[in-house]
Amino acid sequence: MVRTLRHVAYHLLDALLPQQCVSCGVWLPAGRGLACEACRDELLAALRRPYCPRCGRTMPPPSIHEDGCARCRTEHFWNVAEVARVCAYDPAVRGAILDLKYRGQERNAEYLADLLAAAIRARPWAGKLNALVPVPMHWLRRWQRPCDHARLLAEALGQRLKLPVWRCVRRVRHGPSQTGIPSKQQRFENVRGCFGPASGLWGRVRGRCVCIVDNLMATGATVHEVSKVLRRLGADPIYAAVIARPAAPGDPPSQLPPATDEVLATP
DSSP-derived secondary structure for 107-170: HHHHHHHHHHHHHHHTSTTGGG--EEEEPP--HHHHHHSSS-HHHHHHHHHHHHHT--B---EE
> Cα(250)–Cα(219) distance, rounded to whole angstroms?
13
Contacts of 42 (CB under 8 A, 6+ apart): 23, 90, 91, 92
Q: What is the pTM of this model?
A: 0.83
pLDDT tens for each residue of 84-104: 999 988 887 888 898 888 888
**Helix (H) / strand (E) containing 213:** strand 210-216
Contacts of 158 (CB under 8 A, 6+ apart): 132, 164, 165
> Could you list the mean pLDDT of each consecutive 10-residue stretch along the chain, which spans 267 residues?
54 60 77 77 81 90 86 80 92 86 86 93 96 88 80 96 95 77 78 86 86 92 93 95 81 43 35
The angle formed by the CA atoms of residues 65, 69 and 73, to the nearest 5 degrees, is 105
Residues shown for the chain: 267
Q: Give CA separation, 175 vs 97, 179, 228, in Å.
A: 21, 11, 18
Confirm if 135 and 213 have CB atoms less than 8 A apart.
yes
Q: What pLDDT, on a 0 to 100 scale, did the predictor assign at position 215?
A: 93
First to last CA, the chain: 26
Q: Give CA separation, 186 vs 104, 138, 180, 183, 236, in Å.
A: 28, 19, 11, 5, 28
Going from the N-terminus, what domains does the chain have, and what CATH number goes with each? 51-250 (3.40.50.2020)
pLDDT tens for each residue of 177-222: 777 776 777 788 878 888 999 877 667 899 999 999 999 998 888 9
